[in-house]
Structure 1
Amino acid sequence: MKQNTTIRSQIEEYIRQSGMDLHSFSNSIGMDPPMLSTLLHSNPLDMSIEQLDLITAGMELSEGKLFELYIVECLGTTTPDWERIRPFLFRCAELNRHECIRTVITYLVEPTNQSVSIFETAEFLLEQGWKEAAAIMYESVIETEESSHSERLAISYYRLFQIYRTDGHKSFMIAMQFIPYRHRLPDAYALDGLLMLTQLFAVKQKWDEVENYSDELSQLAETIYLKQQQWEDPEFNPARPLVYYYGQGYLFKAGSYEHRGMFAESKKWIAKYADMSWLEGLDETGLKEVQQFNMFANANLLSIEIKEGDLTRVAEYLVFLKQYPDELVDGLTTLLDTSNRNNVFIDEYLDIFADQIAQYRINHKEGWSNQTVTYYYKEPYYTYRFHLFFRKYALYCFRKNLLREGLENVLKSFRLSFNINSKDGMVNSMALFEMHRHHSTQEQQSVYSEICKEVWEHEENLRPFGDAVYDD
């Protein structure tokens, strides 16, 4: 648009070129002619976003085409008018016009602190599912909130962590910003915040951190239940039943010991979530959670006993995996890990689940990205499970001298570990590929090089944020 262009001049130019008059144009967009005339002659321009949309459509312009002018003429006043600002921000979010949201925020924060209204708007945007737009608003609250002890500030960090928790490349940096504020959250939010931290560090395979945050989660759940009796308060509304957080704290703590090979210690914590029916106030949803954790406990005890070398439990484990197919990828990982460490082959077990393994391979083609694959999971922790499965499967193939098949699995593991930004996973995958490179096809080398390039470009893009980002 030309300099000094206004909405009024745009309308006048359109009317002139189309051969209409103001009255005809008003009728064509379904607006009363005196109203349009009054709008155009008001100073400053007194127009709602709904009226702007009617005019934009009548001028045959794309949706949002006049937003930049609207910000200057209708919103850039010294006194923020939230009756007009909110509908405009909602429309920007709906059209993904995030640059306009940023511009409006600049107008708002310069003359006066509007963090309360910005925060309330962010909460509404998030509730509607406009996550990126909400993130912009929460970032503004963080930048302008005057009190470091403000609950709004803590919730804003928590919300950003929520929004970006599935982004393998942003979640860690945002989590580091959230951690100092986790104790300032309302308890219902703190439960989910601690669970997200526990899951994040499990993906990073930082088991000491997993143990730390799983302890905090269990202790908070216990405090709420046993000491505060807060679970009886009708205004206490966590996202999941309180028993869920109880169980998750124990589940991840047991898992942290299992992954470190401390099997006896892991069994102690498995017993904690194996039977939680003693908790009072369990409704139907809570009882289902109790049953789910009992199933997890049985599965994890079987898994540990097999990893300890008791192969007599394999038959029972196979029955369990057929009954609970959602646990299959973890079960196969357990079997592969046990076979690799004990130098035995388990083809007869893998053949039972050949169709599912074949589907895993299809769903995880070499070199796929998050944008090109549709699959049933979205959470990084589930991506981590498949990354681990393909790595163990690669080692199994190498032991059987199935070198190219092993390399295919290495590449799948490499891609998945990059998607969740698991440095340990990427290093292991790169080492395995280089050890067997001379057996790779030209196509496999090309895929490997492409992923390496993505890793390098990602690390280069992080450099301006400082060395602390790399310590994950």
Structure 2
Amino acid sequence: MESANSIRDELMHYMKNNNIKRSQFADIAGINSGTLSRVLQGNKPISVNQLVVITAGMGLPQEYFFKDYIEECFSFDISIRRIRPFIFHCAELDRLDCVEQIVNRLLDDLSYVSVLFEIAEELYGNDKPQAARIIYRGLSEAEKYQHSERLALSQYRLFLIDLGDNLEENVRAATQFELYVNRLNEADQIEALKQLMHVFGMVHKWAKVDALAKKLHRIATIQYDFHCRSERIGEGQKRTERPLYYYILYAYLARSTASEECSDYNRALEFVSLYADGESWVQEKDEESRQIIKQFSDWAVANTYLYRVMSGEIDVLYEYADYIASQENEIFIAVRHMVQAANLYGWNIDNILKRFASYIPYQSGKTKFGEYKQAILKESYAQFLSDLAVYRFNESKDSVTAIKLLLEGLSLSIIMNSGKNIITCMTLFEQYRDCADLKAREKFKKLSSEVHRLNAKKKYYTSWFSVV
């Protein structure tokens, strides 16, 4: 009880040293005088609101008594009514160390698992992911031998929270979570499969993307058929973030992209025809369904042009450029593929690059990111830089610009830990090393050291496209 009394002791010392009576401090803090007396006598636990006003009344930082209040939470009866608001208060002030201490102590008694999960969900919903992460991590450890949906959902939340710019870390998180995806309810499972496709697509694991998309299509189709046969969704049944038909169309889109990335453009076009045809089978006729169907239809038109261009049909190249000119959110992705096609077939697309120069990310504030995820766009841009470097070497013999593009692409790839793009940029630089001046070679040497550091760290620890 000594630590729990420290708040009371400090308050009494404060009042004594400043010659303040209890009634006076009660007025200063805005707390009932009788309540303050019972608190000081140790007859009443301190609530979080009382902790806040006492701390403010003493002119101390908000978190001054947090360590002591942890003991307060466990010195009387363990009351979630006190602990819950304290966890949220800690999360607001980023005192995650206090959250972790409370969670660890509560999990000594597994009867608190359910209420902790509820708190984690509330924190997650209120945009306090790091505090929620501590609880989900504790719950996952406490229930690791269970096969509960709660464990699966905790792992799903951890997966989403851990996603960032580091592609290898994202893959590690996805691989760990994938073991639990089948335990989620159908609504969460459908969205989770979509998120997994994003991660594996960014590291070019297209066979994996195709398999996940096939699974997504199967589950979403079963659920949509059931939904269409039922007059209403069952009471308490969780809804998906997007309408079910959206995920069916999205699965077709994912499979077409996976086929494209494997250079199977005929197969890609087969899937295009499937997501272009939503109007013929989607039963909903509201404004949302019309917008979703139109969006996929627009993508179908753009991707039909794209796959024809990637197949070598130069006669549709400028039709494609004219089409995407009015689709600002799609311009960068289109230009990236045009550069790939130009390299593949020896085309000159200088006028197209000039036309759309202001839409290339990180080169203009006018860039329209639209619905593309920032991390996905970054990865695409890193790949684009190496492709554009090859184009500059081959088409304009502009070695200075090409080397600059390669080094920029390598630097961005290192930041993202994109292994495929790192290898591509380093290989190309070695190929064109004779064209690099001394300054460029020194920068490459420095970046190579960063790559070595990344690889050493990896050994130590281990011995898409997309639209949101």
TM-score by length of 1: 0.89
SS of corresponding position for 2:252 = helix
Q: State whether residues 187 and 238 of structure 2, in contact with CA within 8 Å, keep that contact through their aligned partners in structure 1.
A: yes
Aligned match of 2:151? 153
Aligned match of 1:311? 314
Distance in 2 of aligned mates of 1:131 and 1:230: 38
Which residue type is aligned with residue 206 of structure 1?
Answer: K
Aligned match of 1:302? 305
SS of corresponding position for 2:179 = helix
Aligned match of 1:395? 390
Q: 1:418 aligns with which of 414, 423, 436?
A: 414
Call closer, same or farther: CA 1:132–1:350 in 2, change over 3 Å: same
Q: What residue ranges of structure 1 are gaps of 5+ in the alignment?
A: 365-372, 468-472
Which residue type is aligned with residue 20 of structure 1?
Answer: I
Query: Counterparts in 2 of 1:164-203, with a 5 A limit?
Result: 164-169=162-167, 170-203=169-202
Distance in 1 of aligned mates of 2:14 and 2:203: 58
Which residue type is aligned with residue 418 of structure 2?
Answer: S
Call closer, same or farther: CA 1:415–1:215 in 2, change over 3 Å: farther
Aligned match of 1:13? 13
Q: 1:239 aligns with which of 232, 238, 241?
A: 241
Call closer, same or farther: CA 1:397–1:282 in 2, change over 3 Å: same
Aligned match of 1:210? 209
Q: 1:288 aligns with which of 271, 276, 291?
A: 291
C-alpha distance after superposition, 1:383-413 (max 9, x if no partner): 2222222221121122222222222322332
Moved more, 339-348 or 191-200: 339-348
Q: State whether residues 203 and 420 of structure 1, in contact with CA within 8 Å, keep that contact through their aligned partners in structure 2.
A: no
2:35 is aligned with 1:32: no
2:66 is aligned with 1:67: yes
Distance in 1 of aligned mates of 2:437 and 2:26: 67
2:252 is aligned with 1:250: yes
The structural deviation recorded for 1:298 is 0.9
Moved more, 160-169 or 55-64: 160-169
Tell me the matched-pair count.
455
C-alpha distance after superposition, 1:390-447 (max 9, x if no partner): 2211211222222222223223322443344321112112222333345446665565
SS of corresponding position for 2:130 = helix
Moved more, 33-42 or 14-23: 14-23
Q: What residue ranges of structure 2 are gaps of 5+ in the alignment?
A: 464-468
Distance in 1 of aligned mates of 2:233 and 2:120: 27
2:430 is aligned with 1:434: yes
TM-score by length of 2: 0.89
Distance in 2 of aligned mates of 1:256 and 1:222: 20
Q: State whether residues 358 and 364 of structure 2, in contact with CA within 8 Å, keep that contact through their aligned partners in structure 1.
A: no
Call closer, same or farther: CA 1:118–1:274 in 2, change over 3 Å: same
SS of corresponding position for 1:76 = helix
Distance in 2 of aligned mates of 1:160 and 1:270: 34
Q: State whether residues 201 and 209 of structure 2, in contact with CA within 8 Å, keep that contact through their aligned partners in structure 1.
A: yes
SS of corresponding position for 1:114 = helix
2:403 is aligned with 1:407: yes
Call closer, same or farther: CA 1:345–1:102 in 2, change over 3 Å: same
Distance in 1 of aligned mates of 2:377 and 2:27: 56
Distance in 2 of aligned mates of 1:457 and 1:80: 48
Aligned match of 2:273? 271
Q: State whether residues 115 and 140 of structure 1, in contact with CA within 8 Å, keep that contact through their aligned partners in structure 2.
A: no
Q: State whether residues 152 and 180 of structure 2, in contact with CA within 8 Å, keep that contact through their aligned partners in structure 1.
A: yes
Distance in 2 of aligned mates of 1:293 and 1:153: 35
Distance in 2 of aligned mates of 1:143 and 1:78: 27
Which residue type is aligned with residue 427 of structure 1?
Answer: I
SS of corresponding position for 2:325 = helix
Aligned match of 2:79? 81
Q: State whether residues 144 and 151 of structure 2, in contact with CA within 8 Å, keep that contact through their aligned partners in structure 1.
A: no
The structural deviation recorded for 1:449 is 5.3
C-alpha distance after superposition, 1:154-192 (max 9, x if no partner): 111111122223343532222112111111111110111
Aligned match of 1:340? 343
Q: State whether residues 224 and 230 of structure 1, in contact with CA within 8 Å, keep that contact through their aligned partners in structure 2.
A: no
Aligned match of 1:57? 56
SS of corresponding position for 2:278 = coil
The structural deviation recorded for 1:250 is 0.9
Which residue type is aligned with residue 12 of structure 1?
Answer: M
Distance in 2 of aligned mates of 1:299 and 1:389: 19
The structural deviation recorded for 1:258 is 0.7
The structural deviation recorded for 1:26 is 2.1
Q: State whether residues 175 and 197 of structure 1, in contact with CA within 8 Å, keep that contact through their aligned partners in structure 2.
A: yes
SS of corresponding position for 1:361 = coil
Distance in 1 of aligned mates of 2:229 and 2:141: 33
Q: State whether residues 53 and 63 of structure 1, in contact with CA within 8 Å, keep that contact through their aligned partners in structure 2.
A: yes
Which residue type is aligned with residue 316 of structure 1?
Answer: E
Aligned match of 2:376? 381
Q: State whether residues 230 and 236 of structure 1, in contact with CA within 8 Å, keep that contact through their aligned partners in structure 2.
A: no
Call closer, same or farther: CA 1:434–1:13 in 2, change over 3 Å: farther
Distance in 1 of aligned mates of 2:100 and 2:308: 55
Distance in 2 of aligned mates of 1:286 and 1:393: 38
Q: State whether residues 329 and 368 of structure 2, in contact with CA within 8 Å, keep that contact through their aligned partners in structure 1.
A: no
Query: Counterparts in 2 of 1:83-98, with a 5 A limit?
Result: 83-98=81-96
The structural deviation recorded for 1:286 is 2.0
Aligned match of 2:466? none
Q: State whether residues 110 and 142 of structure 2, in contact with CA within 8 Å, keep that contact through their aligned partners in structure 1.
A: no
Call closer, same or farther: CA 1:135–1:386 in 2, change over 3 Å: same
SS of corresponding position for 1:42 = coil
Which residue type is aligned with residue 254 of structure 2?
Answer: F
SS of corresponding position for 2:196 = helix
Moved more, 158-167 or 184-193: 158-167
Call closer, same or farther: CA 1:252–1:123 in 2, change over 3 Å: same
The structural deviation recorded for 1:450 is 5.5
The structural deviation recorded for 1:128 is 0.5
Q: 2:105 aligns with which of 104, 107, 110?
A: 107
Q: State whether residues 305 and 320 of structure 2, in contact with CA within 8 Å, keep that contact through their aligned partners in structure 1.
A: yes
Distance in 1 of aligned mates of 2:128 and 2:7: 28
Moved more, 205-214 or 418-427: 418-427
CA RMSD in angstroms, aligned pairs only? 2.7
Which residue type is aligned with residue 427 of structure 2?
Answer: A
SS of corresponding position for 2:109 = coil
Distance in 2 of aligned mates of 1:251 and 1:241: 16
Aligned match of 2:325? 322
